[in-house]
Amino acid sequence: MTVLHIRHLYHRYALTEVLADVGLDLHAGETLALVGPSGCGKSTLLHVVAGLLTPTEVLMHSEFRGIACMFQEPRLMPWKTALDNIALGLKALGVPKAARRKQAAALGHRMGLAPEDLAKYPHELSGGMQSRVSLARALVIRPDLLLLDEPFSALDVGLKADLYGLLEEQVRQQRTAVLMITHDLMEAVRLADRILMMVPNPGRVVREFTLELPRAERSSPWVYQTTAELMQIDEVRIGFGLSEGTLPLPVTSPEHARHSGCMV
């Protein structure tokens, strides 16, 4: 089974240690959420996995070959139409123009974008449509590993639900692994198979939670109840600044974090 292993990940900016002894495992078809407050190193960790940042120290093994990213801002090319933005990754892979435009149009349609929308430039699209284009651009190359950096945080509830469904459909069909970061615990409970709770100063993993109920069976009441239960756990409350207290220094392995975690 295709897998990503990270052990003993450290990173510093000058004298500031932003990640300390972080470890995680991610398998094909699995969604892993990194949850924690701002400043705990979630984005730094994602950039390391994406190959955009060389860490100070790490032992990392990845069998994933196709990686795609989606960020909080759509980051579309303003001089390209929505269709050409979706097809950008296919162009980089050398797919002929006619074929890549056909694939991009088909996925754009599944994302709820009409032909006239695909002909527009980013400044002519609503924020929700830009997010659909951004998600389609990430998925059209059929990545083995999808990295999500809080892409849904600025969207309204209805649009979030639409994009959650589109994402889940693609992940299920393609067996894509997803590594997502979010400060929204409820979003993690809705979308992830496992959750890693991170805290800052320095950024580290202090608890792992496994969500046993399959994603397709999670009703809104279950999501609300499970989120409320997690919010009563000390590491979660302290990590989000809801309780006073201190948390242990770096957990040395995912196995340690998992053994101290719980099933939900």
Q: pLDDT per residue over 48-103, tens digit each? A: 999 999 999 999 999 998 899 988 888 999 999 999 999 999 999 999 999 999 99
User: What pLDDT is stored for residue 259 in this prediction?
Assistant: 44
225 Cβ neighbours under 8 A, 6+ residues apart: none
List C-alpha distances in Å: 237 to 202, 207, 244, 245, 247.
17, 12, 8, 9, 11
| Amino acid, res. 147 | L
Task: Tell me the pLDDT band of 128, cut-offs 50, 70 and 90.
Answer: confident
- CA dihedral 3→64→262→247, nearest 10 degrees, is 110
Whole-number Å distance between alpha carbons of 236 and 229: 10
Least confident of 96-100, 117-121, 127-131, 258-262: 258-262
Reply yes or no on whether the pLDDT at 211 is more than 50: yes
pTM score of the predicted model: 0.89
Please, are residues 138 and 173 in contact by the beta-carbon 8 Å criterion?
no
Looking at the chain, the whole-number percentage of residues with pLDDT higher than 70 is 92
